[in-house]
Structure 1
Amino acid sequence: MTQQKTKKYEFQSEVKQLLNILVYSLYKNKEVFLRELVSNAVDALNKVQFEILTNKEAEDKDAELRIDISVNKTNNTLIIEDSGVGMDREELIENIGTIAHSGTMDFLKKLAEAKDKEQVDLIGKFGVGFYSSFMVAEKIHIYTKSFHKESPAYLWKSRGDSNYTIAETVKKKRGTRIEIFLKKGGKEFLDKSVIKNILAKYSKFVPFPVYIENEKIEAVEAIWTQPKSSLKKKDYIDFFKFFENTQEEPETYLHFSSDAPVQFNAILYIPKTSIEQFGLFKIEPGVDLFSRKVLIQKGNKDIMPDYLRFVKGVIDSEDIPLNISRETIQNNIKIIKISKYILKKLIAHLKTMKEKDQEKYLRIWENFHRNLKEGIASDFENKEKISPLLLFHSSKYPKKEYTDLNDYIERMEKNQKEIFYISGLDLETMEKNPALEAFKQKDLEVLYLDDPLDEFV
């Protein structure tokens, strides 16, 4: 390739020190660099999609919007290429040369000022996410050509030290091509199956086609972003089966969204069974956190209280603030707001089911009653909201039927001021307890507590 006008630049601030922090401290898994690069490619494609709609002078308007990943084992090189918005020299300096700068912020400002604007998804801070590549790279080359007609192509080079170079080069098509020259310890990322697994883990819902060595990766629709009116019950069931890698249908689900005080979309499922109910081990949280269809954290521990760890699903918010690494949520205030809203919706859903679909609710109760009781014992802020969901056996009902506290209170005798209960290992043993006879003679209802947690709630 013909190169000319090569110019050397110094990174702003203490870049070498900052790169050490990025590479060795913040990122927990080296594989996340690929997630970052794919997210940046999606960002670039979203931008050019907007420009194609609004800018008559945009380059290569008919080019397919896609992401291509390939490897060169001879050169130990991993290549990620997109047909997105591309960059000129100034944008390379601004977006890549300044690590702390978010190139997307200027674009969002422009978008906010546009008339009849289209919603454009923008993920992450390009400069930060891109530099995670130096966890596995000895050096990186970026070939990029802006969507602006007549704009020259540029080649950016760096070894991740204190400087980088930019030179004009030859690139016929709009977009960005990133060549990562892998360190010895990074050769696993030349394996096509490894790349596929990483994409399946983090980026299976991205809205543009992704190709690995010209093989199109199967696309999965992020149905949580679609309006409920466009989805059928089968869509929710199929998504659950795919998401949980199971053939079992969920017991119930709810799909909702919010624009204020925090924007997010959510699909939550309650499964029919849980390994935990068999006493094998405590399961991990089941709700995954996404930002603009890209996985941020699997089994997030902040969105749902621990006692609801059996709930499965997706929370996707474009408002979740992130620090340099997507592995850590920076501002918990918005997470707390989302968490409170979701808990409110889930409890309301269960209350409605308890009133209108008792058969289904009883199955949920039989499977997850200990989790709800755990919530009463541990979540003091919400125990009054959870308590109507509790069910108990009673001396007034046959063994297989339940009552709740509200119904018990309504049936209490006129001067009765206490809730009477008896605890034991099982219903049969409690019914034979001699102490129960005195209550039966006075026609006083007694609750049967056959679970050690019952006395705490």
Structure 2
Amino acid sequence: MSETGQKENHQFATDNAKLLKLMIHSLYSNKEIFLRELVSNAADAADKLRFNALSNADLYEGDGDLRVRVSCDKDNNTLTISDNGIGMTHDQIIDHLGTIAKSGTAEFFSQLSGDQASDSQLIGQFGVGFYSAFIVADSVTVRSRAAGVDASEGVEWTSAGEGEFTTAKISKTNRGTDIILHLKEEEQEYADDWRLKSIVTKYSDHISVSVEMLTPAVPGVEAVAEVKDDEDNVTVPAADAVAEVPAKWEPVNKATALWTREKSEVSDDEYKEFYKHVSHDFGDPLVWEHNKVEGKTEYTSLLYIPSKAPFDMHNREKQHGLKLFVQRVFIMDDAEQFMPTYLRFVKGLLDSNDLPLNVSREILQDNKITQAIRKGCTKRVLKMLEKLGKKDKEQYQSFWNEFGQVLKEGPAEDQGNKEQVANLLRFASTEHDTAVQSVSIPEYVARMKEGQEKIYYVVADSFEAAKNSPHLEVFRKKGIEVLLMSDRIDEWLVSHLTEVDGKQLQSVTRGGLDLGDMEDEESKQAQEKLEQEFDSVVTRIKTSLAGKVKDVKLSQRLTDSPACIVADEHDMSSQMMKLMQSVGQEVPDALPIFEINAEHELVKHVANETDDEKFNQWTQVLFEQAMLAERGSLKDPASFVARLNKLMLSLTK
């Protein structure tokens, strides 16, 4: 191997250099995982060559025995991880090793807390496995040649992990990649064969590619016998003399695809380590399911629910999906066709016996086998979550806190499983004085009052706004539970989730409130009497607010507040308006319905006001207060303040 080209100097991006230093510091307490990451990457390179060679067998270059080799040199204090996989070109090595993160770095940094344990979890999810080499190395040299290109097209990458790296063109006879770690003085333990073997066995036993280490040569034993030659009078070696046993490469892992083994043969620790291999997450998974499906469609799935959400989980455009194998041959990463977008947090793999080995993303898109597997895997994940929710509420709450907002996308995306997804959702409610979303719809239904036919909810900008909404007053008075929703996606959710298990979902902020059989006859008669008494007042308020409201009504929902606004049954809600405006959508101009509480002292004061100007001012203040409480802002707050000040001053005279 020789250098044939001039060295080129390159700079890491500022954020990447910062991330590299932070990662080395955060992961140092579990530094041996660097070897797991490098071996895992090498195994991936072998898998990718096997797939590409399906259409071009020449890529094997006469060597189809794929492997990863780990060796060390105590004298020079180096550790080398080599593979004969797909290899990299000059441009690929700059792209893959010169940029730690292609996008989202700023968002990643914004989520760092300063707590080393939690930050190391985020760093693991960020996918910086190769750079973990710098935890134990002063510098790293990478030599690579892509399969199928000339030996002169090799490339060498070197860096001390301090913001810059160099590349040079080299001649490399064998394809694949060699990563040479120049170990720090205090990390000499990683130049020891026994230490390395224990780490490989611990973390990489499940990898289907053979991981090999060099067995040292054994000196020969020369057994000399005292045999005299009668003619020459000399001694000669006995016939059983043992020759020297040369060093040789031997596998140190099982090299059997874990998912092909029986579940009873795989330990929990093996499942956890395999998760880290397929997901590049440093933490343990929350739960997993390993299943073999036989019948019209045959496949094996190994599906994991992570413990922590990645920093970019809410980016629906980010690549996601499962590793796809066909007849144990790796085909692709991130096969998104097998899992709906709202389950994009699921990690794992599929191994199909029915798909062709030359399958592409385009073929997968409209393939009946794909659709059958997707349906089966989706059902499997939902059942896994349902089981977790029933078995361990604390663990399910942990899952919900991490992934709940993404799961709320489900009812809109997956009509076929809408009800099953709905039963997995969790909400805050008036039953608990906390913002924790822990109430399921089945639990709510089980607590419904006698005669209650609907599931009531309120959507607001925050938990506090939802909890203190004036629309809840009559529900609190009657002891009726209301779901409190304050996530940005909630209004979108309820627009697609109108019914669950035969129970209609009803917003308490909509007009025409109907409490059904829970409304007693006495209350109905009292309401009718008030409507007659306040008929002229209502007409007067309508005139005052002409052009600003669709209608004015006496409220059945208010007990403490003087007034509120509600949306007509067929109009867009306030929260949906805000949601659409936030994404730049035009919002139709829908006037609200203004409801007044006839029993409130302030409303009575307004009703008795004979001065038309003051009546109009009081009406405007009541209306703008209601708008402020419901929508959080006013088009002209200065006029509202001036009007309110004028009325307060008039009361002091």
Which whole-Å deviations, capped at 9, do the CAs of 1:249-302 have from their partners, x for residues lacking one?
111111111111211111111111222467578542141111122211110011
Counterpart Cα distance in 2 of 1:191 and 1:393: 64
Residue equivalent to 1:24: none
Residue equivalent to 2:490: 454
Equivalent of 1:257, from 267, 272, 292?
A: 292
Residue equivalent to 1:430: 466
Say if 1:290 and 1:314, in contact at 8 Å, map to a contact too: yes
Counterpart Cα distance in 2 of 1:357 and 1:404: 14
Counterpart Cα distance in 2 of 1:280 and 1:37: 30
Say if 1:39 and 1:294, in contact at 8 Å, map to a contact too: no
Residue equivalent to 1:370: 405
Say if 1:272 and 1:364, in contact at 8 Å, map to a contact too: yes
Which amino acid counterpart does residue 309 of structure 1 have in structure 2?
R
Counterpart Cα distance in 2 of 1:239 and 1:387: 31
Return the offset for 1:33.
Answer: 8.4
Say if 2:286 and 2:306, in contact at 8 Å, map to a contact too: yes
Indicate the SS of the match to 1:298: strand
Equivalent of 1:233, from 265, 268, 293?
A: 268
444 and 237 in structure 1: CA distance in 2 versus 1, 3 angstrom threshold: same
Is the deviation greater in 234-243 or in 180-189?
Answer: 180-189
Which amino acid counterpart does residue 392 of structure 1 have in structure 2?
F
Residue equivalent to 2:62: 79
Equivalent of 1:414, from 450, 455, 460?
A: 450
Is 1:340 aligned to 2:355, yes or no?
A: no
Equivalent of 1:34, from 49, 52, 75?
A: 49
Residue equivalent to 1:194: 176
Which whole-Å deviations, capped at 9, do the CAs of 1:166-193 have from their partners, x for residues lacking one?
xxxxxxxxxxxxxx97469966695757
190 and 32 in structure 1: CA distance in 2 versus 1, 3 angstrom threshold: farther
Counterpart Cα distance in 1 of 2:148 and 2:324: 31
Residue equivalent to 2:441: 405
Counterpart Cα distance in 1 of 2:315 and 2:360: 32
Say if 2:54 and 2:357, in contact at 8 Å, map to a contact too: no
CA RMSD of aligned residues (A): 3.8
Gaps of 5+ in 2: 1-44, 67-146, 156-170, 180-205, 215-247, 494-653
Counterpart Cα distance in 1 of 2:251 and 2:487: 49
257 and 437 in structure 1: CA distance in 2 versus 1, 3 angstrom threshold: same
Is 1:394 aligned to 2:429, yes or no?
A: yes
256 and 235 in structure 1: CA distance in 2 versus 1, 3 angstrom threshold: same
Counterpart Cα distance in 1 of 2:342 and 2:324: 18
Indicate the SS of the match to 2:282: coil
Gaps of 5+ in 1: 1-29, 44-67, 70-77, 84-179, 198-203
Equivalent of 1:381, from 409, 413, 416?
A: 416
Indicate the SS of the match to 1:247: coil
Residue equivalent to 1:349: 384
Counterpart Cα distance in 2 of 1:37 and 1:369: 38
Give aligned pairs, total: 292
Is the deviation greater in 366-375 or in 403-412?
Answer: 403-412
Counterpart Cα distance in 2 of 1:81 and 1:342: 33
Return the offset for 1:224.
Answer: 0.9
Counterpart Cα distance in 2 of 1:319 and 1:277: 33
TM-score, with structure 1 as normaliser? 0.55
Return the offset for 1:433.
Answer: 2.0
Indicate the SS of the match to 2:176: helix
Counterpart Cα distance in 2 of 1:307 and 1:452: 15
Indicate the SS of the match to 1:409: helix
Say if 1:241 and 1:247, in contact at 8 Å, map to a contact too: yes
Residue equivalent to 1:27: none
Indicate the SS of the match to 1:353: helix
318 and 450 in structure 1: CA distance in 2 versus 1, 3 angstrom threshold: same
Residue equivalent to 2:283: 248
Say if 1:205 and 1:293, in contact at 8 Å, map to a contact too: no
Say if 2:335 and 2:361, in contact at 8 Å, map to a contact too: no
Counterpart Cα distance in 2 of 1:181 and 1:38: 10
Say if 1:322 and 1:328, in contact at 8 Å, map to a contact too: no
Residue equivalent to 1:105: none
Return the offset for 1:215.
Answer: 5.8
Which amino acid counterpart does residue 459 of structure 2 have in structure 1?
S
Is 1:285 aligned to 2:320, yes or no?
A: yes
Greater gyration radius: 2
Residue equivalent to 1:266: 301
Indicate the SS of the match to 2:63: strand
Residue equivalent to 2:477: 441
Counterpart Cα distance in 2 of 1:365 and 1:80: 49
Which whole-Å deviations, capped at 9, do the CAs of 1:367-410 have from their partners, x for residues lacking one?
11111111111111221221110111110123136211122222
Indicate the SS of the match to 1:376: helix
Say if 1:37 and 1:80, in contact at 8 Å, map to a contact too: no
193 and 241 in structure 1: CA distance in 2 versus 1, 3 angstrom threshold: farther
Counterpart Cα distance in 2 of 1:33 and 1:275: 25
Counterpart Cα distance in 2 of 1:82 and 1:232: 28
TM-score, with structure 2 as normaliser? 0.40
Say if 1:413 and 1:444, in contact at 8 Å, map to a contact too: yes
Return the offset for 1:427.
Answer: 2.1
Comparing both chains, which one has the higher relative contact order based on Cα–Cα distances under 8 Å and sequence gaps of 6 or more? Answer: 1
Say if 2:151 and 2:174, in contact at 8 Å, map to a contact too: no
Which whole-Å deviations, capped at 9, do the CAs of 1:408-432 have from their partners, x for residues lacking one?
2222223322221111222222222
